[in-house]
Chain A
């Protein structure tokens, strides 16, 4: 079980403040690192990986600073975004070489295990230059896993992977997270982060905009009414009933049903079924429209 801790970490390059006073804790399980392009996500990953020193603040992995700490790499595996493999090596050679760099006792066995985990055993003897993008990604993950790290840092790991490879990788990360490893995943594909990550950290312009479970974050946005799409046997009747409730800010007939804006989510969600039953209205569909990670993320950027 490893914990990554950032306390008031800042990092600047001349006048450009890439990371601005971030305090966060990343524990076991899968954490998603989100943010618009240029927000500082890669910088945060590189800081944690010890490639950069914080200009200010403290950054520790399991209590030890990550900067100038080669021992860190026993616990940390990094899958960077850029193509960082030697194309003239075979997949197997590359992972074995990484294993040797880690001074593992049995590099060949460790490499074989790692390659099996990412399901690249069939292609391991081919040169990496012949690999598709998705295969390169997988071999990079194997190299990052070869020393059995407790911490895994991944920057856009699904880039170039086809659907089957993505599902496989998502299963793998879920399993690794369930094993208690600390996995930090930076990605733009929010549908996937939504499924993988228990917690998210959202970085906007170098600052930490939000942390935690995204559903809980959504609940915290009390100034924004929750939007629901409701389809029933009698939309207008339900609509007129709903508009009489203080928990409801607005009702609109739209999208083949009723679009309800609930200013008090908790109360509304308890009242809806009761109201429908009392009026003899059949509820066919109740869909939250802005509770997805995409919506939450968009709202965070707006504010």
Chain B
């Protein structure tokens, strides 16, 4: 018979002898963590409401178009402008609601020193956050475009038709990329100014809405009203009995004609700036701007200025914030 034995296991402190990941992987982990919080993953049901609703509504035109195409109609919306107004509103909501999730919360709880005392560099933090939020905005904008494309080519029967669609789709993707990058940068930069989510959300929403409305007003107001006239001659040939004879009719029409001012008005809002760049690069669909009238390069410059200012501001903010 064996002697009775018992063991007391040592569950004291254990050293960690496993793999340690380098800075790049730490930043990647922070990127994924931030991307998840942009969609409210891992934070409970309430945090997912806004991202999910925004995404679903953004997809609706694509789905409607797929259905229409399946019934033999042409594609309902263009790739490069999609449904412009809808995009504007939905992106304002998404950026204003979610940018604070990524940065304001950490500022409010003063957790940043716990990041900076770890083996990553100070600027890795805003870098990871920016990359994550750009990815999030990209998803919201591009996935519906992809759905639109797939829904259309599903009904295409020739390689030529598919190629036609693809040729229109790619620029649309590029426009979407510009949108994602600029809006993410502006949103994060503004959110990083406040630890209070309400202020951050309000600030971002107000900025985007006000400039958007202002651009719309300016464009409408600065266009010149011009009267165009035309003469309509009566059709030649026999007249049906009972119809009186008429002479030529003069028709006057009031139209709006863009001016320099109206060409430039789009610069006040990031959305119209984006549209201006689209037009400058050769976009043909009708967006928010009636035209850039030779000032396309200005729009390109404005886009870069806004982008640089936002990214610069974001990084500058984290140079000082969260000091140990």
* Contact between A and B in the complex (any CB pair below 8 Å): no
